[in-house]
Amino acid sequence: MASNQIIIRGVTLPGRRLAVALLCAPTIVHAADASDRVARTLPLPPGRAVRVEATIADVTIVGSDRPDLAVEIMRRAPTSSDLARYPVVIDSSDDVVRIAAVQTNDGRDARLKTEMVIRAPSAARLDAVRVFEGRVRLSDLTAACDVDIQRGNIEANALSGRVRLESGVGSVALTDAALVAGGMLRLRTFNGPVRLQFARPPDNARILALTFNGVITSDIPLSLRDTFGPRFGETTIGTGDPVVSIDAVKGDIAISVDRR
């Protein structure tokens, strides 16, 4: 073979024809990701609960003095046909508003992503927020929040009322927490740290903290058992109501008070 010959896909070409061959070669173009956006505003009368479900999602829920519920959902997928694999659902009945972007057939495709922003009244009751993987952010909610994410972090600020935040693999962080009589605060992780910051020292509370593989630190004095095995801390302040329960199977627990 002559030294100025080049083989392209098994075809021998003289070197001087290489530039022409490259110009004529087919170009591979990757289609841009498909996306869509759904936005709705719904009435949310007192007593009507909110439930949120998503597979791969970043969910943000913000409370304010607004009377209604504003929902914005952005989906991104490799192709437009993939969007049908996790349809948007926004349903309202007398009892509950359901907001969902769940993959069909119990899918777990990480390429099918959702960004969900919900603006709600501060007194909205979030009966169930369920996410398989992603992140959940919450702020300025005063009635009830029940959040469970299997893989990912929960970041919350200024919550009160009946609050349950749980992550399977990921962290849970709540800042500026406020306790109210008859409320409840439960923070839990299977594999990850838990950080709780009170907006001010609580007047009344029963605080329980347990980690099977981690350490407990607290600005609020706790009776600690940490010589071997699971670490456990507890204290009762005032009436002992509400109960604050924090536990981690594998992760540290940190309790602090905002000193500003």
- Residue 40: HSE in the Cβ half-sphere, 13 Å Cα cutoff: 14
Q: 169: how many CB neighbours lie within 10 A of its CB?
A: 15
The predicted pLDDT at position 229 comes to: 77
Calculate the average pLDDT of the chain: 89
Q: Which amino acid is at 107?
A: G
3-state helix, strand, coil in the chain (%, to 5): 5, 60, 30
Encode pLDDT of 161-174 as tens digits: 999 999 999 999 99
- pLDDT, residue 259, reads 78
What share of the chain in percent tops pLDDT 70?
Answer: 88
pLDDT in the model for residue 22:
34
Point out which residues pair with 131 in neighbouring strands. Answer: 54, 149
Q: What is the DSSP letter of 16?
A: G
Of 26-35, 50-59, 86-95, 179-188, the least confident: 26-35
pLDDT of residue 24: 40
pLDDT per residue over 109-156, tens digit each? 999 999 999 999 999 999 999 999 999 999 999 999 999 999 999 999
**Residue closest to 23 by CA, chosen among 10, 13, 31:** 13
Q: Do the beta carbons of residue 192 and residue 238 sit within 8 Å?
A: no
The model's confidence at residue 12, banded by pLDDT at 50, 70 and 90, is very low
Residue 26: pLDDT over 90: no
Strand-pair partners of 245? 186, 208
The verdict on whether omega for the bond into residue 242 sits within 30 degrees of 0, i.e. cis, is yes
Whole-angstrom distance, CA of residue 72 vs CA of residue 146: 20
DSSP letter at 241 equals -
What is the Cα–Cα distance from 162 to 183, expressed in whole angstroms? 5
C-alpha 188: how far from chain center: 14
pLDDT, tens digit, 9 for 90 and up, residues 208-237: 999 999 999 999 999 998 777 799 999 999
